[in-house]
Amino acid sequence: MKIFINDREIHLAPGMTVRHAIIAAGFTREIDAGEKVFDEWGNEVGLDGAVSENYRLYVEVKKAR
């Protein structure tokens, strides 16, 4: 299944969760640092939530100060 994280295409097996998508996209450090995940409408989503084909997620990445 194809989803997008920060507009980057990620391929996952059916049944995977938001957490699996974050790991596949390499955003584990950002999540560990307290960053949150949002859907395309700006709603915060939980890491155990389901994803589906063409689902869009966004991780806000703060720039280093």
Q: What is the pLDDT of residues 29-64, one digit of tens each?
A: 999 989 999 999 999 999 999 999 999 999 987 755
pLDDT (0 to 100) of residue 49: 94
pLDDT (0 to 100) of residue 65: 42
Domain boundaries, the chain: 2-59
Q: What is the pLDDT of residues 9-30, one digit of tens each?
A: 999 999 999 999 999 999 999 9
pLDDT (0 to 100) of residue 63: 59
- Could you give the angle at the alpha carbon of 32 between the alpha carbons of 27 and 34, nearest 5°? 100
Domain covering 2-59 assigned CATH 3.40.30 in the classification: no
Rounded CA separation 21/26 (Å) = 9
- Amino acid (one-letter) located at 16: M
Using pLDDT thresholds of 50, 70 and 90, give the confidence band for residue 8: very high
Rounded CA separation 39/19 (Å) = 13
